[in-house]
Amino acid sequence: EAQVTQNPRYLITVTGKKLTVTCSQNMNHEYMSWYRQDPGLGLRQIYYSMNVEVTDKGDVPEGYKVSRKEKRNFPLILESPSPNQTSLYFCASSRSASGDQETQYFGPGTRLLVL
């Protein structure tokens, strides 16, 4: 089954404790992206990747890091989480990074609480 998976689905942590949220897709997609969803703000892009080893900042990158060492994986790293990073996070992927808009497929989300 074609899908985007995220782990963990739920996470409670404390300020300053490094964490990684994994994202994996099995569709051989070029483009991958991370969004955060906050009430009243919709989804905002954190980082995106056009292909392996090619990543760039989105609209709200502060406090986050990403890497794209393999095509299928795009982990989101919070080196020193803070309470303002409490949010619902979504990973998404699409077939092509260029040309006409490709349908983006979203993962199930990771709900993060930073105390």
Residues that bind another protein (CB under 8 A): 4, 31, 33, 35, 40-45, 48, 58, 90, 92, 94, 96-104, 106-109
Closer to another protein by CB, 16 or 108: give it: 108
Token readout for 41 is 């703000």
Q: For the CB of residue 42, give the shortest distance to another protein in the complex, in Å.
A: 4
The least CB distance from residue 16 to another protein, in Å, is 29
> For another protein, which is the closer residue by CB, 73 or 104?
104
Q: Which is nearer to another protein, 18 or 36 (CB)?
A: 36
- If DSSP codes are grouped into helix, strand and coil, which group holds residue 85? helix
- The least distance separating another protein from the CB of residue 106, rounded to whole angstroms, comes to 4
